[in-house]
Amino acid sequence: MTATITLWSKHMKKFLANPMEMFGLAIQPILWVVLYGVGMKSMMSPAMPGTGNTYITFMVPGIVALSALGGAVGGGSVWLTERLRGIVKEYLVAPIPRLSVLMGNALSTMTKSLFQAVVILVVGVLMGARLAPNPLGWLGGMALVAAFGLGFSGIALGMASSTDNPGVYHSMIMLLNLPLLFLSNALYPLESLPTWMRIGASINPTSYVIDGIRQMMLQDGAAMTGGKVLPLWLCFGVVAAFAALGMAMAYKAFRRSVK
Amino acid sequence: MNKQTNSDLAIEARALVKRYSAEVLAVDRVDLCIQANTIYALLGPNGAGKTTTISMLTTLLKPTSGSARVAGFDVVQQAARVRQRIGVTFQEMVLDDELTGRDVLDYHGRLYGQSRAERQTRAAELLALVELQDAADRQARTYSGGMKRRLELARALMTTPQVLFLDEPTLGLDPQTRTRIWEYIRNLKEQSGLTVLMTTHYMDEAEALADRAGIIDLGHLVIEGTPGELIAQMGADTIRIVGRGERDTFVAQIRALPFAQTVTTGEDVIQIGVDSGSRRLVEVASLATTSNFVIEDVSMTKPSLGDVFLKYTGHQLRDTASPVSPNGASIWIRK
């Protein structure tokens, strides 16, 4: 446990000491909100049907999920760098459990995801998104983001354990990025999609995070989708299962890479 | 921490074997007995098995067979206890260089469960020892190669280990830095009762530092002893001859000479260990004419560890990668 916290704190220190990394990770989702959000908002009628919300409020949860993904990617590349530069060996000759190396990485990766999510929420609010006045809902939404971040950390760490090439790592991750965003309810309500896309979106864990966040964190969240929302227990269940799956994947790849 | 366990052997390896695959046998039945509070140098060409041996002794790699005890504990069965008692520097630079020098030491101490007060005192001491006080609060990436190496040494010492493993500690450093690092190592051994196992390519390093040295080649430990013993068995003087012509005949004739204690042939050098160089030089040279060998250059030296190395490995001391084992770094980064 101490070792896990030590590694987490070391990664956080490096993260905070390097504003370029933070900025680099946050810039893409910020551009989504600012450019895409504003563009779409001005094309659509000023308010979402049945609410006083603009499109920005609708899309913010999707971009929060996307930014959590960005945080996970960053965490995975930290692990890849540590492996490639041999820093892992320092951990392996230390009297610490092997698993704490993975846990420390997963924890710092998840923290970065949460951090990104908060940045996007703030940007979203500045751009006119309306939050629900319920701090419990915010906590619930953040819990979803944390679990989603953990699941994605797992995938990112797993990929970072199975390649020695940073280029390959980034392109593998990028490959996931777009379908996860577009094949979900991030930018449009599930109801308005053709069946094949709706099926795709409903096996995409991102949809569950987004639906949960929308309901719990945003003003009139359910009304924006015409009241057709997924039950919250399902959102939490799917995201928790996704987190477990991601970590299992990371654990397997991690065992292989450090023996 | 420095108290010795029942045995006075700090490192004891028995028939240690590491086989990476059917073709690659990196370490082949190596026996090592290293007394506590001594410096032992493991010499050998690249790919000889030095790093693999160290990796097994530092619990990074599991031996294929054989056993080893470090600081009194078995490297496989009691790996955690071994880890608590050793300090390691790796052949390649392993540093989180976005951290400051002080932070590198601090996080290392935390991993080993040292208290904050302990870490602060120890880091300050060590930064002073390796003369990095002025750079302590700068990011390590601004350090020169020598400073990074010294920081790594300080990190290995952070937890006051009983046994220190240094894999090529002065590789690529300038002569001044090398001499400094030698001084640190020597003083540490004398003052804190440390045992050091180091690998090196540099024979002068082994001569300057080691109480005992072993030469490893193709996974075998071919000879060991004090540097003095190793050198002494080469004969009192060495005559080196470079030339062209009927080399084989010439060498055969030299071997037949009663006073030629050792005869070694390198790629272009013939080395003859004799009792007295000045007396025997003429006799050796006169053989050249009778065997159609033209001497181009002849020199006479006191033998060095380098000559011992040449005798036992047949390699000159240059970077000739042996195909026998993969290099140490890639072992860790497997697909």
The string of pLDDT tens digits covering residues A101-131 is 999 999 998 888 888 888 888 888 888 888 8
Give the residue-averaged pLDDT of A70-82.
86
Specify the DSSP class assigned to residue A36.
I
Q: What pLDDT score does A4 carry?
A: 94
A251/B144 Cα distance (integer angstroms)? 37
Q: What Å distances lie between residue B77 and A209, B2, B68, B69, CA to CA?
A: 45, 22, 10, 10
The owner of tokens 């994947």 is: A249
State how far residue B264 is from chain A, nearest Cα, in angstroms: 39
Q: What pLDDT score does B332 carry?
A: 34
Point out the residue among B84, B90, B335 whose CB comes nearest to the CB of A164: B335
- Contact, A41 vs A54, CB < 8 A? yes
Read off the pLDDT band of A26 (50, 70, 90).
confident
Smallest CA–CA distance from A17 into chain B, residue = B98
Give the sheet arrangement for strand B262-265, strand by strand.
Answer: B262-265, B269-274, B237-245, B293-301
User: Hey, what amino acid is at B280?
Assistant: R
Specify the DSSP class assigned to residue B130.
T
B210/B203 Cα distance (integer angstroms)? 10
Read off the pLDDT band of A19 (50, 70, 90).
confident
Q: What pLDDT score does B315 carry?
A: 56
State how far residue B50 is from chain A, nearest Cα, in angstroms: 17
Q: Which of B173, B218, B178 is nearest to B44 (CA)?
A: B218
Q: Angle at the Cα of A105 (from A102 to A111), degrees rounded to 5?
A: 140
B257/B282 Cα distance (integer angstroms)? 13
Q: Helix, strand or coil for residue B86?
A: strand
**8 Å CB contact of A14 and B108:** no
- In terms of average pLDDT, the best of A11-25, A38-52, A147-161 is A147-161
Tokens found for residue B326: 């993969």
Lowest mean pLDDT across A41-45, A241-245, A248-252: A41-45
Give the residue-averaged pLDDT of A159-184.
85
A166/A41 Cα distance (integer angstroms)? 37
Q: Which residues in chain A have Cβ-Cβ distances shorter than 8 Å to B81?
A: 95
Select the residue from B59, B88, B95, B96 to test the A interface by mutation, using most A Cβ atoms within 10 A: B96
| Contact partners, residue B102, CB within 8 Å, separation at least 6 | B123, B127, B136, B137
Burial B245-266 (b: 16+ CB within 10 A, else e): ebbeebbebbeeeeebbbbbbe
B300/B294 Cα distance (integer angstroms)? 17
User: Hey, what amino acid is at B191?
Assistant: Q
Q: Helix, strand or coil for residue A210?
A: helix
Tokens found for residue B227: 């540097």
- Contact, B197 vs B57, CB < 8 A? yes
Read off the pLDDT band of A8 (50, 70, 90).
very high
Lowest mean pLDDT across A6-20, A171-185, A193-207: A171-185
- Contact, A224 vs A51, CB < 8 A? yes
Q: Is the pLDDT of residue A253 over 80?
A: yes
**8 Å CB contact of A89 and B90:** yes
Query: Residue A193: is it exposed, middle or buried by C-beta count within 10 angstroms (0-12/13-18/19+)?
Result: middle
| Contact partners, residue B132, CB within 8 Å, separation at least 6 | B101, B147, B150, B151, B154
Helix pair B247-256, B277-290: axis angle to 10 deg: 130
Specify the DSSP class assigned to residue A32.
I
Q: Which residues in chain B have Cβ-Cβ distances shorter than 8 Å to A2?
A: 110, 113
Please tell me the pTM assigned to this model.
Answer: 0.81
Read off the pLDDT band of A244 (50, 70, 90).
very high
Read off the pLDDT band of A190 (50, 70, 90).
confident
The owner of tokens 């050796």 is: B284
A91/B105 Cα distance (integer angstroms)? 13
A13/B96 Cα distance (integer angstroms)? 12
Smallest CA–CA distance from A3 into chain B, residue = B111
Tokens found for residue A36: 């895409």
Specify the DSSP class assigned to residue B100.
B
Ranges of chain B whose pLDDT falls below 70: 1-7, 315-335
* Widest Cα–Cα separation across chain A: 62
**8 Å CB contact of A86 and B92:** yes
Smallest CA–CA distance from A165 into chain B, residue = B335
Tokens found for residue B256: 């037949």
The dihedral built from the CA positions of residue A149, A150, A155 and A158, taken in this order, carries a sign that is positive
A183/A190 Cα distance (integer angstroms)? 10
**8 Å CB contact of B111 and A18:** no
**8 Å CB contact of B111 and A6:** yes
A255 close contact with B: CB closer than 8 A: no
State how far residue A95 is from chain B, nearest Cα, in angstroms: 5
Q: What pLDDT score does B23 carry?
A: 86
Percentage of residues in chain A having pLDDT higher than 70:
96
Radius of gyration of chain B from its Cα atoms, rounded to whole angstroms: 22
B247/B253 Cα distance (integer angstroms)? 10
Tokens found for residue B22: 């059917």
Q: What pLDDT score does B7 carry?
A: 56
Q: Is the pLDDT of residue A206 over 60?
A: yes
- Contact, B291 vs B253, CB < 8 A? yes
A34/A37 Cα distance (integer angstroms)? 6
Give the residue-averaged pLDDT of A6-34.
85
| Contact partners, residue B65, CB within 8 Å, separation at least 6 | B15, B16, B17
| Contact partners, residue B91, CB within 8 Å, separation at least 6 | B51, B167, B168, B171, B199, B328, B329
Q: What pLDDT score does A46 carry?
A: 60
A44/A39 Cα distance (integer angstroms)? 9
B318/B324 Cα distance (integer angstroms)? 16
Q: What pLDDT score does A90 carry?
A: 92
Tokens found for residue A35: 């450019």
State how far residue A120 is from chain B, nearest Cα, in angstroms: 27
A17/A20 Cα distance (integer angstroms)? 9
**8 Å CB contact of B58 and A90:** no
Q: Angle at the Cα of B63 (from B59 to B66), degrees rounded to 5?
A: 120
| Contact partners, residue B297, CB within 8 Å, separation at least 6 | B240, B241, B242, B243
- Contact, A240 vs A147, CB < 8 A? yes
Specify the DSSP class assigned to residue B115.
-
- Contact, A61 vs A217, CB < 8 A? yes
* Model pLDDT for residues B28-45, shown as the tens digit of each residue: 999 999 999 999 999 988
H or E element: which one contains A51? none
